[in-house]
Structures are given as structure tokens and as C-alpha cells.
Amino acid sequence: MTQSIPKVAIIGGGPAGLMAAEALLSSAVEVHLFDAMPSLGRKFLMAGKSGLNLTHSETLDPFLTRFGEASPLLAPAIRAADPQALRDWAAALGVETFIGSSGRVFPNDFKAAPLLRAWLKRLRGQGLVTHVRHCWLGWTTSGALLFETPSGRVEIEADATVLALGGASWPELGSDARWTTWLEARGIGIAPFRPANCGFDVAWSEHMRTRFAGAPVKSVVLSFGSESHRGEFVISENGIEGSGVYALSASLRDALAEKDAATLTLDLAPDRSLERLTADLSRPRKGQSMANFLRKAAGIEGVKAALLRECLPAEAFSDPATLARGIKALPLKLEATRPIAEAISSAGGIPFAELDGDFMLKKLPGIFCAGEMLDWEAPTGGYLLTACFATGRAAGLGAARWLERRA
């Protein structure tokens, strides 16, 4: 009697789901991947619009610390699919990568689409069957997977399932966190979702909002508590966003949640000491306007000058020492985080305590989870994608091992 080939359903066509498929296709299983969107990898392609930051080149030990409290829990999966392995994997797909000046790793052409096309071609060639426009609705009373499709509802039987449905950011690209309803109904705990790598609201004046929205603020040091980051950010109509802000966003978000207030400190002249700046600003103005004087004496102009006007009292501009301190430690009061739908990523989701070492839900044997569904967060810089790839691979291998044990 011929034994039937096990069927695995993967729900979610982003990096974690596709990597789970790749891991499973090396086993003797039939792999079907379902996604609610009309095409796969929508968020992956969006992430690559400004240049696909695939991973980061820093050595593995510091790399593994970037995931906060989840670092030791993610470490085994990432060690098994580390940044160099990810670069080698991309190269095998015909996509060479390079290390940028910040240590971030990008495809040579910066694009996500060629990598995704090559990957999908290889996966389908290995036997992956894909089903788009299949929105998961949980399980039927008999345990089958239930999907809403353009042709109506369909039920799918699977021997194992990998869930890779994303978190709660960018819902229009498929990560809408609807899946929490189906898992909570089956007793799975869910940590509340929170925005990560997000912007913040600032109560700008009308002048600041209308004149400087979209302006980049470059070469600054942003500080909050014991954390500092040198980089840049962007003034938005509602507040601030950008890589410099994202680097501190977890601490700022948590402070706002706890105290309803957070003040970000900006050093607008990081290459000048306070002493030098005070001396430069103590020179006679000789009839110059304050705008010209700041530009010539301190290199402060444009949006940086506008920030000074926005955040310092008028009398500060008449005292060189006070003005210098303001330039070196400008307080910017944040009102709230921007909505989670706008965030680059999200924190929260399925706690690792709900999973075993193979990323299987302890309460639901045969159901595996990966990617941003899990309760972890990381800064931008390639860390997010690396962990999604790594947990997808780990969940796929875990599902293969589980099926093998049951054979």
C-alpha cells in the first residue's frame, strides 16, 4: 500500500512564508502557499522601494543583541541562517549584494523585485503550489483551514500548517492582524500589538508644519535616556519620522505609554563642542540678522534654525551660552506615536512561551508560526528581514521534522 504524501499549508506569502516553503520543499511533502493579496511578497516589494536592505554586515554576536528581550529566543534560528548565509542564498538566486557605508547589505541594483521573481521561479520549479486571493478565516469545526476566495469559501485539509501572516503594520499590504481572532479563540495568548520603527506626533506651529514638512534634518545626534543615535530624520506634517527616530522609537513609545510624555533631545551641531559653540556665538553680530549670524557663526540654517525657533524661548537668542546649550541639547516634546498602520513594523503578537523549540504552538500540534506574527521587534538596518527569513526557515524545518516523526 502506497503511503500518501503529507500536505503542508503555508499561510502568508511574505519572506517568512516563502522561506518556510523553501525549507519544506527539501522534504518529501506537498507544499501549498496561500495569500490574501493578488500577488505574493507585497510588503517585501514595498520595503525595497527605497532600496532593499536585506541584512546587516556586523559580526553575529552584536547582531543578535538587536532583538531586545527576544534576542536569546531568536538566536538559534538566526545562527542557523545568519547574514552571510543570507547573502550566499541571494547570490545563488543570481542576486549579488554589497555592504553600504553604514554596514547595511543591499542587492547591487538595490531592487527587491528581481530577487522575488527569481525566488518564486525556483520555488515553483521545486513544486510549490501558490494560491492568491485566499483570505484565511480560521478553522472549520472539523479542523479544516477555511478561506474566503473570489469564488466563495473553500476548505483545505492539511497535515501541518505554517502561519506567516505578519504583524499589524501596513494592513493594506496584508498584515492586518485579523488572525489574532482565530488563534485567541483556540486559547493562544497574544501580546498586544504596538508600533515599532515608527514616527511620532509633535505639536508643530502652523509655520513649521506648512513650511518645513518633508524637510530632512541631517547630521544630528538624537538622544533619549541613555540611548543616542547619530543620523538624520524628517519633519512631517504631523511630527517626525525617519531612521534616526526609528532607532530610538521603542524607548520613546514605551515612555509615552507609561507617562503620556517623552522629550527627545537633539544635538544640531554634533561636530562642535559646547565650548566652541558658545565662543562662536559670543562674537559681535555687527548688524547681522539672527538668521545670518546663526548660519555664519554656528552653521545653523534652514530647518535646523526653524527647530531652534520652534523649541527655544525668544529670550534664549539674546544669550550666547543659553543659545549654545539649546543647539547642543534641543528639547523636542513628543505627543504620541503615529498609528501602527503607518509603522515600519510592529511589536507584540504570539509570545515565545506559546511555542516549542521548532516554532510549533504547544496547544495546537502541527501548527507552526514565523515572522512578525511573533512577539519580537528590531531596528531597521536589515535585522527585521533577517529574523523573518530565519524564523520562516526554522518553522518550515520544524514542520518537516514533526511530519517525519508522525510518519
pLDDT tens string 4-55:
899 999 999 999 999 999 999 999 999 999 999 999 999 899 887 878 999 9
Nine-digit cell string for 81: 541562517
Task: Give per-residue pLDDT as tens, 172-230.
Answer: 888 899 999 999 999 999 999 999 999 999 999 999 999 999 999 999 999 999 999 99
CA atoms within 13 A on the CB side of 64: 16
* Predicted pLDDT of residue 407: 79
pLDDT grade for 2, boundaries at 50, 70 and 90: very low
How is the beta sheet containing 97-99 ordered, strand by strand? Answer: 55-56, 104-107, 97-99
Task: Give per-residue pLDDT as tens, 52-70.
Answer: 999 999 999 999 999 989 9
| Whether the Cβ atoms of residue 389 and residue 53 lie closer than 8 Å to each other | no
* Predicted pLDDT of residue 260: 84
- Is the pLDDT assigned to residue 120 strictly greater than 90? yes
Amino acid at 334: L
% the chain with pLDDT above 90: 93
Closest to 197 measured CA to CA, from 243, 262, 239, 255: 243
What is the maximal distance between C-alpha atoms in the chain? Answer: 99
| Whether the Cβ atoms of residue 319 and residue 272 lie closer than 8 Å to each other | no
* Predicted pLDDT of residue 50: 79
Mean per-residue pLDDT, 276-285 = 94
How is the beta sheet containing 7-11 ordered, strand by strand? Answer: 129-131, 30-34, 7-11, 160-163, 367-369
Closest to 365 measured CA to CA, from 159, 102, 108: 159
Q: How far apart are CA 285 and CA 364, in angstroms?
A: 73
Mean per-residue pLDDT, 285-298 = 91
* Predicted pLDDT of residue 173: 86
Count of other CB atoms within 10 angstroms of residue 72? 11
* Predicted pLDDT of residue 287: 85
For every residue of 29-75, DSSP letters joined together read: -EEEEE-SSSSS-HHHHHHTTT----EE-S-HHHHHGGGGGGHHHHH
pLDDT grade for 3, boundaries at 50, 70 and 90: low
Nine-digit cell string for 13: 506569502
What mean pLDDT value characterizes the chain? Answer: 95
Mean per-residue pLDDT, 238-254 = 95
Q: Domains, the chain, ranges and CATH? A: 7-195+346-406 (3.50.50.60), 200-337 (no CATH)
* Predicted pLDDT of residue 103: 95
* Predicted pLDDT of residue 1: 36
Q: Which residues of 102-139 are buried (b: 16+ CB within 10 A; e: fewer)?
A: eebbbbeeebbebbbeebbeebeeeebebbeebbbbeb
Count of other CB atoms within 10 angstroms of residue 51? 15
